[in-house]
Amino acid sequence: MPRNIEIKLKLKHAAQTQALIESIADGPSTELIQRDVFFNVSSGRLKLRIFPNRSAELIAYHRTDGMTPRQSTYSRVLIDDAEGLIHSLDTTIGIRGEILKRRLLYRIDRTRIHFDEVEGLGQFLELEVEMDESLDDRKGRKIAQNILSKLDLEDAEIIQVAYIDLLEN
């Protein structure tokens, strides 16, 4: 199962952080508009991510909540009929909630940097270090910590949970 090491922070100085990201990223950002519909599940999290062009992917993932970079395992399935799947899952397991966001995606080597504007919650930074067999979790955490140290984020608040959890609280 694919995995990454990730950490999420609520930004207090978003413009400054974005400028620093742009100065160290491998290239310009890609803008993504995403609608994430979360479903009620007994283990992990399940969301349908829908893009403006109506393409979608169902993402199931497991990640422990915490204050440090942590492992996330996930699977993704491309979906042709997002609205049909929403209806089917709503009638069987129920919709937990919905997140709307504008994401700027940057890359540094094997790390995806998400600069997110989440409707109703604010601006966030999320790092995802893509892992493979050549990289253990300790090395993945070190990569994340090295990037964080370059971004001067001492006053940013580490977020231990998913956006949907924040919205519910």
Checking 83-92 for CB contacts under 8 A at 24+ apart, the result is 85/48, 85/56, 85/58, 86/37, 86/48, 89/39, 89/48, 90/39
Range of the domain at 140: 3-168
CATH number, position 31: 2.40.320.10
- Taken in order 89, 163, 57, 116, is the CA torsion positive or negative? positive
Give me the pLDDT at residue 153, please.
87
pTM confidence score:
0.92
Among 4, 130, 143, 138, smallest CA distance to 63 is for: 4
For the chain, give the percent of residues with pLDDT over 70. 100
pLDDT in tens, 10-25: 999 899 999 999 999 9
Q: How many domains does the chain have?
A: 1
Over residues 149-160, mean pLDDT: 88
